[in-house]
Amino acid sequence: MDFVWDQRELILEGFWRTIQLAALAGGLSLVFGTLLAVMRVCPIPPLRWAGATYVTVVRNTPLTLVFIFSTFGLPRLEIRFSFFVFAVVALTVYTSSFVCEAVRSGINSVASGEIEAARAIGLPFRQTLSLVVLPQAFRAIVPLLSSVFIALTKNTSIAVAFSVTEATSILRRLQNQDASATFPLLIVTAAGYLVITLALSFAFSRLERRVAAAR
């Protein structure tokens, strides 16, 4: 346990990286996932088709493969960023497809009469979406998004194999320095993830209660 305590700074640094990964990829996934969902419901068939294909392909690809594509594939295409950015790209590409499906289910839950009413007062497609449909869709899918983001937080640990010094890679490194500390390290690391995901669920359940009042 002493060893773990001595290494607390490194461990915290690892978790800080994990949080950065999750937050960045989460934010970007929310944006891209929503765009994808909008593509999937928009009146232009090629966009709908593209959105559906993206989701089908990406959702059925193991995340590790997406990571390999970003970390080993992109450099071959002369696209070079830091490994952290590659990890954010991989997590975003992957998580967007799940956000998309969540948002799409939210969009489908919005009463069609309200959409009609929005069109009837002269709101164009974009504003109908942004003022009427999406605000309600997001309220409806807060619990869904919560689990998507918890999964994302845990998925950040895949980055361990792709040269990002997040919490799990720090665990591996320290475990390597002192194999006898494996259990304390595992417990501390698992607890760290638990703290993050519990904080996330807590924040989301508060959000859920707040938006429930407005529904």
**Total chain residues near other proteins (CB under 8 A):** 42
Cβ 197 to other proteins shortest distance, Å? 25
Q: Any contact of residue 114 with other proteins (CB under 8 A)?
A: yes
C-alpha pair distances (Å), 1 with each of 9, 112, 160, 194: 14, 59, 23, 19
Residue 89 touches other proteins, criterion: CB under 8 A = no
User: Taking Cα atoms as reference points, which of 70, 63, 72, 64 lies closest to residue 89?
Assistant: 70
Q: CB-wise, 51 or 197, nearer to other proteins?
A: 51
Q: Are 159 and 3 in contact (CB under 8 A)?
A: no
Q: Residue 175 or 201: which CB sits closer to other proteins? A: 175
Place of tokens 């800080």: 16
Of 153, 161, 163, the C-alpha closest to 193 is 153
Q: Which stretch binds other proteins (CB under 8 A): 87-95, 143-151, 163-171, 190-198?
A: 163-171
Q: Does 84 bind other proteins (CB under 8 A)?
A: no
Contacts to other proteins from residues 31-70, by CB under 8 A: 53, 56-57, 60
